[in-house]
Structure 1
Amino acid sequence: MPSEETKESLIKVVEVGRTILHYGWIPLIIYVGYTRSTPQPSLIKLISPLA
């Protein structure tokens, strides 16, 4: 059976992973869409809604 220290470490890793996934999901989807599209839009058009 894992020790308490191992359980705490695993819980901490899972919490950090959830935070990274929470804040990184949408930027990842935008990046993948930007790099895989043809023709590739300019960065200014991607960032600015008025461009």
Structure 2
Amino acid sequence: MPLFPFSEDTKERIIRTVAVVHNVVHYGWVPFVLFVGYSRSTPRPSLIKLISPLA
């Protein structure tokens, strides 16, 4: 017996929401870590040096 009896529509919405959140966390983790490292560093590098490996 389920804890909360959800309708099929509610179950589909929950599944879609979890899938979207999973994708956001999966693909947003590395840019988030780079942003935190960039914003917390003491001598802040220029943005072009952060993006371009040849600069």
| TM-score, normalised relative to structure 2 | 0.85
Instruction: Say which structure is richer in helix.
Output: 1
Gaps of 5+ in 2: none
Shift of 1:22: 1.5
1:10-50 per-position Cα deviation (integer Å, ceiling 9, x unaligned):
00000011111111111111001000110111101101111
Partner Cα distance (1:10, 1:46) in 2: 38
Match of 1:43 in 2: 47
Of 9, 27, 48, the residue aligned with 1:5 is: 9
* Overall identity of the aligned pairs, in %: 61
Q: Which runs of 4+ in 1 moved over 3 A?
A: none
Q: CA RMSD in A?
A: 0.7
Q: What TM-score does the superposition give when structure 1 sets the normalisation length? A: 0.91
- Number of residue-to-residue matches in the alignment: 51
- Structure showing greater radius of gyration is 2
